[in-house]
């Protein structure tokens, strides 16, 4: 476990999955991350790479050859190397190896940098192409936060607030096939807030694209504490709660998404994926600002 600490926050991160385990506010001694209860979901913030969501039957094609990946890819199951570490910053790095090449036929370097900046934990995700050909991938985050913050509260008193008024359609997930359908329904019509309710997640995550806002905040009616989640260079956003609301809400910035339920193309043909030229680096970033 790696710990970062400054005057405002203490953060525990694990090399497996380059995952945030805890964000403790030093003013109120609260853990703002999901508590990793295996009865609902045993993770808290894995990095998603080289897919987001699932590919059909856990199978995908590259240049006519079949490969297999489980949901959200292999990065979350692998130990990253700690390539740099100070009191307020750590760099985790994952590179191609023989086992990974059996699942994903590209040479890459995935670097995840966490940095404490006042009351904010910033995360920079970088993918570098070290192959001799273009590489294709999706990438994202899956941080899950405590909701409610206090055990004696109800999650029904919490709401999500976008930075700007949005007019957005929600993509509908085909739960039976662990895939994205082509159906949509209206989520916002020049609006910016919704309350955390189980009915919103009956069809798995709420997924939107082409949003204008650069942050989404988790707030309560009962007090001024909040999590403000900043994000840049992502093309989709997933918002998810476990089957029984109460305990967690995940705010997931994605580049790409799960296969459509009728998708038959290759990895390069998926909506929202990145094709990265030889020697180039792709960057996206998010930040978790804690309002204590």
Q: Strand ranges (DSSP E) for 177-265?
A: 179-195, 206-209, 215-220, 226-232, 236-240, 247-255
Give the list of residues 6+ apart from residue 244 with CB closer than 8 angstroms, or none. Answer: 40, 198
Q: Which two tokens stand for residue 52?
A: 């987001």
What is the rounded CA–CA span in Å between residue 218 and residue 121?
A: 16
Whether 207 contacts 250, CB under 8 Å: no
Whether 145 contacts 196, CB under 8 Å: no
Digitized pLDDT (tens) for each residue of the chain, 292 residues in all = 999 999 999 999 999 999 999 999 999 999 999 989 887 888 899 999 999 998 988 999 999 999 999 999 999 999 999 999 999 999 999 999 999 999 999 999 999 999 999 999 999 999 999 999 999 999 999 999 999 999 888 888 999 999 999 998 888 888 878 878 888 888 888 999 988 777 777 777 888 998 999 999 999 999 999 999 999 999 999 998 876 656 889 999 999 998 888 888 899 999 999 999 999 999 999 999 999 9
Q: Which two tokens stand for residue 203?
A: 């069809």
User: What is the separation of C-alpha 248 from the centre of its chain, rounded to a whole number of angstroms?
Assistant: 14
Q: Which domains does the chain have, with CATH numbers?
A: 2-291 (2.70.98.10)
């Amino acid at each position: 476990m790696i710990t970062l600490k400054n005057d405002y926050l203490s953060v525990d991160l694990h090399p497996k999955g380059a995952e945030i385990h805890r964000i403790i506010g030093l003013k109120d001694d609260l853990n703002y991350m999901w508590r990793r209860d295996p009865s609902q979901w045993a993770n808290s913030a894995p990095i998603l790479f080289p897919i987001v969501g699932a590919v059909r039957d856990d199978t995908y094609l590259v240049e006519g050859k079949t490969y297999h990946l489980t949901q959200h890819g292999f990065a979350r199951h692998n130990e990253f190397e700690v390539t740099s570490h100070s009191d307020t910053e750590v760099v985790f790095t994952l590179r191609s190896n023989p086992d990974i090449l059996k699942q994903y036929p590209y040479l890459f370097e995935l670097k995840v940098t966490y940095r404490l900046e006042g009351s904010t934990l910033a995360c920079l995700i970088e993918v570098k192409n070290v192959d001799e050909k273009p590489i294709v991938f999706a990438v994202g985050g899956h941080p899950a936060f405590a909701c409610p913050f206090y055990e004696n509260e109800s999650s029904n008193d919490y709401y999500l607030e976008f930075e700007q008024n949005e007019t957005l359609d929600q993509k509908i997930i085909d739960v039976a096939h662990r895939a994205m359908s082509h159906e949509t329904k209206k989520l916002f019509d020049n609006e910016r807030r919704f309350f955390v309710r189980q009915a919103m997640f009956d069809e798995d995550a709420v997924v939107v694209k082409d949003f204008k806002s650069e942050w989404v905040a988790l707030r309560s009616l009962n007090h001024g504490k909040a999590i403000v989640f900043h994000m840049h260079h992502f093309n989709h956003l997933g918002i998810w709660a476990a089957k029984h609301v109460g305990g967690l809400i995940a705010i997931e910035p994605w580049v790409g998404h799960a296969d459509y339920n009728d998708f038959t193309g290759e990895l390069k043909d998926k909506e929202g994926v990145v094709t990265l030229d030889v020697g180039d680096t792709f960057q996206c970033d998010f930040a978790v600002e804690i309002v204590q």
